[in-house]
Every structure is written in structure tokens, then in C-alpha cells.
């Protein structure tokens, strides 16, 4: 499916502009400005090094023989890179690492810290215009292998992804020349390890010719430090010098009137209905998934019983059940562990935050500076590129607040693209916005509202995660890592498709802590061994399959006995 990421971005952005009529929403107004973005146009060995295969039009950068921040003095080594043909990949790995065409780029280095980047010089940019970098990157960092499954690092700060932009000729890692996005790590993107989020960052071009950097790395010598990326994108947006060019932006500014793009507050979760719950004898509560259930609807249902707001109930229920991505009809979900008995039909609210306190806590967390998003060892370097842009004149419209606009549709043919007249909006899909691993807000789709916007966001790194309704699976990336900056409304559109319960049940078999990725990379099971002599072969038909042999053996025994009887009679 060619240029899937571009199509997703264009479709979502057009939906925001056309449906919400937000004049300052960020529309894509160009094709992909990168050369060879999907690695389909060949590659070369940079500097004549056989282990460094680089797509044509790109250049590699790396640290070799030196420690860098966060490695605790452990020296990093030069990585290896491969432009990998899908025919050389095991069939079970192809859906994980390939997004477009037959090639993906693999950057890896086992048993050593690694810091690497790819870059491309881009010409013909418009100074003062905003541009968007997007890249789906699979973070294949492994701390250990347990039973054939990949175990991700316990320290969320070890792996990282970052983008940068600077004038052509900028020296890599020189923060005086390059402006960087925040670092993305497992602290602000979940899942981060063994998943392929789509990372997005908007910046303002300072001159026509610039170098774009996409960085990946690991701060620890894990058994495997690897990254896969495929079909990266650079797109021009419809905003120049902080104002959307052309068209009438409306008569209002931020007064909240008309369709001026005013800052409407994020809608709070809907009120939770009262539900009668009968706990089990041990005090636990279990919910059996029924048709049209979703994580969000279940959280709303049980929030009063748990004595916490619905968004906190959503996280608690997911954690109690091993953080599954999907739920299936008939599945039992643990709502509350044993020992917490309900008194008078409601749960004790002792030590639980009230709705007002929770809202205050979320607000205070979202106000944290972006530079602290990655912890002590992760620092956002450089000044925002917006600082280099001219100040808006009196005739220019003020910027809209930062935000993320989301939508979900039922993808009838599974192609990951919304097609008017073919696909329809999907209800009961929960879409959660996270910052630094904390829930900012959750929206449950209703099936008739095209786009919902989380607005008034503090600039910084966010994650948008889809939780489909029961028996639906995503046809688009279900996790987007987004760097939100001032004046940006970033749209994200999710597609889902119905999957038969039997097929989902097979994929979910085993421990709830085993992810779909781990299942996929596990070696194929060996054939079922034949049962030992004397055992009942129940899986292979058992006694009934061997009845013919038993009859023959019984006949042989009877013939032998008859023969022995005849001999004894003759002797008598």
C-alpha cells in the first residue's frame, strides 16, 4: 500500500479542516518532500564500510568509541545498518517491520550502547512555513529472552527517538545549529518497546535549504539494540509565520464565537451511570464482555463502584488484566481484586482522589516543561525554531492553541484509508491521550461525531492510543507519538475492522502478559508428540482410533487359546 502514512495524514487533516472548519488546523499542502522515503530506490555502502548500508539520498551518523549522556561511561560502538528485503525476512516478522514496498531500514548494535541518525538535505523549503516530519519506527530493544519471548528493558529511559532540523551543513548533535524535538522514550510512549508508533514533529523552516535528522539510540549494552523504520515523511503545512495562509479565518479570535478556532476546553468524561454489582465471595468483581463493550464503556460502568473517575478506572481495569490491547465477547475482565468488599453497594473512596482533585492533578502534570519529559538523563536541547520566526503583525490572525484531533472509522476493506460512501464512523472506540505516561483525557467515539479535539494542550510530547471495541482490530497504526507545539492542531484518524471471535481467541491464548509481538516472534511450535505406550491418545483420536488394532489382537489371542485347547485335548 503505497505512501500509507501520507494518505493517513492527508485524510485526517482534510477531515479536520472540512468538518470542524478550523481555519488554523494544520493541513498538508505538499507531497512527501523526502527523496527515497521508503528505501525503494537503492542503497550504497557509506564510506566504503560493508556494514553500513544507507538508502540513496540519505546519510548515516553514529557515535563510535565514546560514551554519551546516560550510558554511565559505557562506550558506544558503531552500529550496523541493513536495507532489508522483505523476501529475506521471516514471514512472521514481515507485518512488524515493513510498512510500504519491499524494503525496510534496520539499524542495530547488540551488546553496546548505540546512538545513530539518518539525515537528508532538503531544498526548496519556504522560510517561515511549518513542516511536519513523520516516521513509523519499530523499537526492537531487548533486555532478555524468556521462553523464546522478547523481554523489554525495565528502565524506560534507555531507548529513545528524536528528530532534528538545522541549516544545510549543520554538524550532527550540535545544538547550537540544530533544533530538536523532545526525546520520545518509554516514559512518554507506551507501548514503546516491541511496537511501531508513528512519531510526528512540526517545525518552522528558517531557510530554504535544511538538513533533517531522525535519531535513534539505546543507552545500555542490551543483547539487542535495534530499530526498524519504513516510509518516513516530510510534508509542508498550511501555516506561514504562525498564520494559516489564504482564506477567511473568521471574524472572531479567541472569544469563542463562530468557527474562529477558539480554544474549547477538553470535554470531561461523561457521567458514570449507576450499576448494581454483586461481588464474589472473596470481594472481587469480574465483568463478562458482551457485544458493543469497550474498555471505556466498561470503565464508565464500574467507576462509581470503584469510587474513582472513569479515566482512572480505565487505567486500573487495563492494568489488572495485563494491559491487553483488545477485548473479546465472553472474555472475563477483573474489575477489582479480592479483599476489597463493597459496603452498601459502593466502594470505599478512602485515599481516592475526587473528580476535582484528579482534574487538578492532570492539569498540573500537563503544565510541566517539555525539557523534563524524559527524566534527568533526557534533555531537550536547542531553542524552539518558532523563536526564529517573525512575530505576527497586526493583520495576522493569532495562533490556535495546541491540540490533537481524533476520529475512528470502520474500515470495511481493511486498507487503512477512510473512503467516503464505503466506510462509516465507528462508535465505542476509546482514544486516550497520554503525557509522560499519565492519562490526560479519554474520548469515546459515538459513531456520528466526525472529529473530537483535545485542545489547550501544553506543548510537549504526547501519545495517542486507540482501544478498539470488542472483536475489532486496528487497520491503521494504533499508537501515535506526537510532539505538540504552539498553534498546532494535529489530526489522528484510526481505522478498525471486525474480526471473528474465534480468530481473536487464538491470538490471545496464553498469558495476558504475552504481547502479540512476542507471540509472533516465538519459534513455530513443534509437532505434537505421539502419546507414550499405554497412554490414552485423546488428542489423536484415543481408543476409538485404535479399536481396529485391538480387535485384531483379540482375535489373534483367541486363535492361540483355541489352538492350545486343541493340543491339550489331544494329549488327554
Q: What is the pLDDT of residues 433-456, one digit of tens each?
A: 888 778 888 888 888 777 788 888
| pLDDT of res. 374 | 32
Separation between Cα atoms, residue 415 and residue 411, nearest integer Å: 7
Kind of pairing between the strands at 479-484 and 198-204 = parallel
Separation between Cα atoms, residue 15 and residue 294, nearest integer Å: 25
Q: Evaluate whether 240 touches 247 at the Cβ level (below 8 Å).
A: no
CATH class of 26-243: mainly beta
| pLDDT of res. 259 | 25
Kind of pairing between the strands at 210-218 and 129-142 = unpaired
| pLDDT of res. 224 | 92
Separation between Cα atoms, residue 233 and residue 100, nearest integer Å: 12
In the block, which residue shows the cell 537503492?
Answer: 42
Separation between Cα atoms, residue 382 and residue 385, nearest integer Å: 9
| pLDDT of res. 554 | 55
Separation between Cα atoms, residue 321 and residue 504, nearest integer Å: 17
The percent of the chain in helix, strand and coil, each rounded to the nearest 5, is 20, 30, 50
Specify the long-range contacts of residues 509-514, CB closer than 8 Å, at least 24 apart: 511/322, 512/321, 512/322, 512/324, 513/322, 514/149
Separation between Cα atoms, residue 67 and residue 356, nearest integer Å: 46
| Closest C-alpha among 166, 251, 162, 161 to residue 212 | 166
Q: What angle do CA 306, 307, 309 make, to 5 degrees?
A: 100
Tens of each residue's pLDDT in the chain, 572 residues: 455 555 555 454 444 444 344 434 567 788 899 999 999 999 999 999 999 999 999 999 999 999 999 999 999 999 999 999 999 989 888 888 998 889 999 999 999 999 999 999 999 999 999 999 999 999 999 999 888 788 999 999 999 999 999 999 999 999 899 999 999 999 888 889 998 888 989 999 999 999 999 999 999 999 999 999 998 999 998 888 744 443 332 322 222 222 222 222 333 333 434 456 778 888 888 988 887 677 777 877 787 788 887 667 877 888 888 877 667 778 888 988 886 543 333 333 333 333 444 333 333 333 433 333 333 322 333 333 333 334 434 344 444 567 888 889 999 888 887 777 788 888 888 898 888 778 888 888 888 777 788 888 888 788 888 888 888 988 888 888 887 766 667 878 889 999 887 654 444 444 434 333 333 333 333 333 433 333 333 333 333 344 445 445 655 555 566 565 555 555 55
Burial degree of 230 (CB within 10 A; 0-12, 13-18, 19+): buried
Q: Which three cell numbers stand for residue 219?
A: 543507552
| pLDDT of res. 172 | 95
Under 8 Å CB-to-CB from 57, ≥6 apart: which residues? 34, 35, 36, 41, 120
- What's the farthest any 2 CA atoms get from each other in the chain? 130
Separation between Cα atoms, residue 385 and residue 387, nearest integer Å: 5
Q: Evaluate whether 231 touches 5 at the Cβ level (below 8 Å).
A: yes
| pLDDT of res. 471 | 86
Q: Whole-model pTM? A: 0.50
In the block, which residue shows the cell 492539569?
Answer: 363
Separation between Cα atoms, residue 110 and residue 108, nearest integer Å: 7
Q: Evaluate whether 368 touches 462 at the Cβ level (below 8 Å).
A: no
Kind of pairing between the strands at 233-240 and 129-142 = antiparallel
Q: Evaluate whether 103 touches 39 at the Cβ level (below 8 Å).
A: yes
Under 8 Å CB-to-CB from 185, ≥6 apart: which residues? 156, 157, 158, 159, 160, 161, 192, 374, 375, 378
| pLDDT of res. 162 | 95
| pLDDT of res. 77 | 95
Q: Which three cell numbers stand for residue 454?
A: 483535545
| pLDDT of res. 564 | 58
Q: Which helix (H) or strand (E) holds 115?
A: strand 114-122
Q: Which three cell numbers stand for residue 475?
A: 487497520
DSSP 31-42: ---SSSTTSTT-
| pLDDT of res. 557 | 56
Q: Evaluate whether 488 touches 458 at the Cβ level (below 8 Å).
A: no
Under 8 Å CB-to-CB from 518, ≥6 apart: which residues? 149, 150, 194
Separation between Cα atoms, residue 133 and residue 235, nearest integer Å: 7
Q: Which three cell numbers stand for residue 99?
A: 510498512
Separation between Cα atoms, residue 118 and residue 132, nearest integer Å: 17
In the block, which residue shows the cell 468483581?
Answer: 285
Q: Evaluate whether 141 touches 225 at the Cβ level (below 8 Å).
A: yes
Q: Which three cell numbers stand for residue 135?
A: 516516521
State the span(s) of the chain assigned CATH 2.60.120.260: 26-243
Separation between Cα atoms, residue 84 and residue 71, nearest integer Å: 29
Give phi and psi for 556, each to the nearest 5.
-60, -45
Secondary structure of residue 226 in the 3-state scheme: strand
Give phi and psi for 68, each to the nearest 5.
-135, 175
Cis peptide before 140 (omega within 30 of 0): no
DSSP 271-340: PPPP------TTS-EEEE--TT--HHHHHHHHHHHHTS-HHHHHHHHHHHTT--S---TT-EEEEE-TT-
Q: Evaluate whether 366 touches 434 at the Cβ level (below 8 Å).
A: no
Separation between Cα atoms, residue 490 and residue 22, nearest integer Å: 12
Amino acid at each position: 500500500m503505497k505512501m500509507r502514512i501520507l494518505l493517513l495524514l492527508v485524510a485526517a487533516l482534510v477531515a479536520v479542516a472540512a468538518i470542524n472548519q478550523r481555519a488554523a488546523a494544520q493541513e498538508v499542502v505538499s507531497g512527501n518532500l523526502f527523496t527515497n522515503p521508503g528505501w525503494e530506490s537503492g542503497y550504497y555502502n557509506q564510506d566504503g564500510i560493508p556494514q553500513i548500508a544507507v538508502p540513496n539520498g540519505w546519510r548515516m551518523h553514529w557515535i563510535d568509541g565514546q560514551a554519551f549522556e546516560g550510558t554511565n561511561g559505557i562506550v558506544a560502538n558503531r552500529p550496523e545498518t541493513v536495507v532489508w528485503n522483505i523476501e529475506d525476512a521471516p514471514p512472521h516478522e514481515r507485518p512488524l517491520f515493513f510498512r510500504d514496498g519491499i524494503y525496510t531500514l534496520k539499524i542495530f548494535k547488540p551488546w553496546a550502547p548505540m546512538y545513530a541518525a539518518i539525515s537528508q538535505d532538503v531544498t526548496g523549503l519556504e522560510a517561515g512555513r511549518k513542516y511536519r516530519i513523520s516516521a513509523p519506527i519499530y523499537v526492537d530493544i531487548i533486555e532478555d529472552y524468556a521462553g523464546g519471548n522478547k523481554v523489554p528493558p525495565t528502565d524506560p529511559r534507555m531507548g529513545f527517538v528524536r528528530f532534528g532540523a538545522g541549516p544545510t551543513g549543520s554538524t550532527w548533535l550540535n545544538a547550537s545549529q540544530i533544533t530538536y524535538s523532545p526525546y520520545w522514550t518509554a516514559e512518554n510512549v507506551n507501548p514503546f518497546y516491541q511496537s511501531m508508533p508513528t512519531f510526528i514533529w512540526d517545525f518552522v523552516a528558517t531557510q530554504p535549504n535544511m538538513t533533517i535528522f531522525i535519531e535513534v539510540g539505546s543507552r545500555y549494552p542490551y543483547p539487542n539494540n535495534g530499530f526498524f523504520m519504513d516510509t518516513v515523511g516530510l510534508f509542508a503545512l498550511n501555516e506561514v509565520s504562525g498564520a494559516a495562509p489564504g482564506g477567511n479565518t473568521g471574524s472572531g479570535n479567541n472569544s469563542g464565537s463562530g468557527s474562529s478556532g477558539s480554544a474549547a476546553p477538553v470535554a470531561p468524561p461523561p457521567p458514570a451511570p449507576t450499576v448494581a454489582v454483586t461481588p464474589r465471595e472473596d470481594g472481587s468483581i469480574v465483568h463478562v464482555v458482551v457485544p458493543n463493550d469497550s474498555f471505556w464503556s466498561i470503565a464508565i460502568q464500574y467507576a462509581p463502584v470503584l469510587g474513582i473517575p472513569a479515566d482512572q478506572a480505565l487505567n486500573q481495569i487495563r492494568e489488572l488484566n495485563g494491559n491487553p490491547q483488545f477485548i473479546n465477547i465472553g472474555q472475563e475482565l477483573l474489575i477489582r481484586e479480592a479483599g476489597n468488599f463493597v459496603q452498601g453497594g459502593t466502594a470505599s473512596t478512602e485515599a481516592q482522589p475526587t473528580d476535582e482533585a484528579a482534574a487538578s492533578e492532570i492539569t498540573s502534570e500537563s503544565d510541566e516543561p517539555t525539557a523534563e519529559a524524559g527524566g534527568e538523563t533526557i534533555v531537550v536541547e536547542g531553542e524552539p525554531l518558532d523563536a526564529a520566526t517573525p512575530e505576527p503583525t497586526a493583520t495576522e490572525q493569532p495562533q490556535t492553541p495546541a491540540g490533537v484531533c481524533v476520529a475512528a472509522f470502520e474500515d470495511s476493506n481493511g486498507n487503512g484509508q477512510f473512503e467516503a460512501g464505503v466506510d462509516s464512523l465507528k462508535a465505542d472506540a476509546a482514544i486516550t491521550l497520554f503525557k509522560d505516561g499519565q492519562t490526560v483525557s479519554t474520548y469515546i467515539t459515538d459513531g456520528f461525531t466526525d472529529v473530537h479535539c483535545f485542545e489547550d494542550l501544553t506543548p510537549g510530547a504526547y501519545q495517542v492510543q486507540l482501544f478498539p471495541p470488542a472483536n475489532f482490530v486496528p487497520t491503521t497504526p494504533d499508537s501515535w507519538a506526537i510532539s505538540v507545539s504552539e498553534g498546532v492542531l494535529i489530526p489522528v484518524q484510526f481505522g478498525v475492522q471486525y474480526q471473528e471471535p474465534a480468530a481473536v481467541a487464538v491470538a490471545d491464548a496464553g498469558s495476558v502478559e504475552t504481547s502479540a509481538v512476542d507471540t509472533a516472534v516465538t519459534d513455530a511450535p513443534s509437532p505434537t508428540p505421539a502419546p507414550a505406550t499405554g497412554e490414552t491418545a485423546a488428542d489423536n483420536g484415543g481408543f476409538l482410533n485404535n479399536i481396529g488394532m485391538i480387535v485384531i489382537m483379540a482375535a489373534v489371542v483367541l486363535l492361540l487359546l483355541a489352538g492350545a485347547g486343541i493340543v491339550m485335548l489331544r494329549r488327554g
